[in-house]
Amino acid sequence: MTDLTFLPGRTALEAVGLGVKHRRGWALRDCSFRVPAGRVCALVGPNGAGKSTLLSVAAGLRRAGAGSLSVLGRAPGGPEARPRVAFLAQDKPLYPNFTVADTLRMGEELNPGRWDRAAAERLVRQGNLPPHARVGTLSGGQRTRVALALAFGKRPELLLLDEPMSDLDPLVRHEMMAALMAEAAENATTIVLASHVLAELEGVCDYLLLIGGGRVRLAGEVEDLISAHRLVVGRHEEPGPPRAFAVHTVVESRTVGRQLTALIRPEGPLAGKWETGEPSLEDLLLAHLRAPDAPPLLTPSAEPRSAGVVAA
Ligand SMILES: Nc1ncnc2c1ncn2[C@@H]1O[C@H](COP(=O)(O)OP(=O)(O)OP(=O)(O)O)[C@@H](O)[C@H]1O
């Protein structure tokens, strides 16, 4: 991602000891992390990890039960944050009886002084959506396009997207990803994008937040997180893990036949005849998803800076 979008020192999201409780228990527990402004951040985690919960707290739709989450330095959902944040929820609520044109008009009326009509209309036009079609008659992917147009038209400083591309065909998905990247680069918009499509995140996201079991597992610049790990392959015939790994943090290690493949965080040179290489983002994420007990890692920029108290 281009450095032009990096806004030194500014914070888009900051959680300090954040806990969120649903009826059945805590969805998020003691989460502390920071996402700097101007980043395109992938929000990844297994089903039920708490991604939607986190985004709904950031959007001001749900309250924290413990600790705090600040959005652009303010309380989520407050008068200062609300106009600057757009949220596209998984179910993309739209009015089915409104036409596409009515929906964009509503966006304009709800966002006086901010609405970018050209950007919203361009997105709708690119999908060949008839302006007079009722939203309820559109396909799932077409409704997603309208919902994205509403979110883009708001010209948010922070765009929260909860698996926005899941019902788009591959070509449209590609086109929408490109539109997101252009948006981020042109307007220094911070994007937090929850997604299960790991391959789609590579080359698009420059920041990562991996949550699992309601806790933060990885947070920071994709580049730094990747370079903190090594993918190790080699022959291993003895039972148990190789002795050479003892001084390193082993995230995951698997042996098929005599071939061992491991993802480690090296604490120094690795002894022995191993082939080592840099993991891809997908390698990194898959290994951490398969190893839920691996120790967490936050890069310095992902450490919270405040004590967690924010004004509305
Ligand atoms: N409204 C609710 N009432 C009760 N429990 C809920 C509610 N919403 C979410 N949960 C629970 O909170 C936990 C986190 O759910 P959440 O939807 O945030 O996860 P997620 O990471 O977005 O999952 P997915 O990848 O499946 O969308 C889950 O255990 C879920 O069952």
List, for the chain, all residue ranges whose pLDDT scores fall below the cut of 50. Answer: 1-5
Distance 47 CA to ligand 1 centre (A): 8
pLDDT of residue 33: 97
**pLDDT (0 to 100) of residue 7:** 61
pLDDT value, residue 93 = 80
Ligand 1 pocket: which of 20, 43, 53 to mutate (most atoms within 8 A of CB): 53
Token pair listed for 89: 């929820």
Phi, psi of 30 (to 5 degrees): 50, 50
Q: Are the C-beta atoms of residues 252 and 262 closer than 8 Å to each other?
A: yes
d(CA 295, CA 288): 9
Question: What confidence score (pLDDT) does residue 6 get?
Answer: 53
Q: Is the CB of 24 under 6 A from ligand 1?
A: yes
d(CA 48, CA 52): 9
Report the separation in Å between the CA atom of 10 and the middle of ligand 1, taken as the mean of its atom positions: 29
Amino acid sitting at position 244: A
Residue 251's H or E segment, with its range, is strand 249-256
Is the CB of 48 within 6 Å of ligand 1? yes
d(CA 34, CA 4): 20
Would you state the pLDDT for residue 4?
44
Residues in the chain: 312
Surface-to-core class of residue 186, CB atoms within 10 Å of its CB (0-12 exposed, 13-18 middle, 19+ buried): exposed
State the pLDDT at residue 210.
97
* Spatial CA neighbour of 42 closest among 258, 292, 222: 222
Q: Which of 52, 55, 56 to mutate to test the pocket of ligand 1 (most atoms within 8 A of CB)?
A: 52
What is residue 228's predicted lDDT score, i.e. its pLDDT?
A: 97
Is the C-beta atom of 51 inside 6 A of ligand 1? yes
Which residue's alpha carbon is at the smallest distance from atom 2 of ligand 1?
Answer: 22
Q: 53: Cβ below 6 Å to ligand 1?
A: yes
Task: List alpha helices for 127-201, DSSP H.
Answer: 140-153, 170-187, 198-201
Q: Give the model confidence (pLDDT) of 29-80 as tens digits.
A: 999 999 999 999 999 999 999 999 999 999 999 999 999 999 999 999 998 9
pLDDT the model gives residue 96 = 93
Atom of ligand 1 nearest to the CA of 46: 25
Q: Collapse the DSSP code of 70 into the 3-class scheme (helix H, G, I; strand E, B; otherwise coil) and give the result.
A: strand
93 lines ligand 1 (CB under 6 A): no
Pocket of ligand 1 contains residue 299 by CB under 6 Å: no
- Whole-number Å distance, alpha carbon 53 to ligand 1 midpoint, is 6
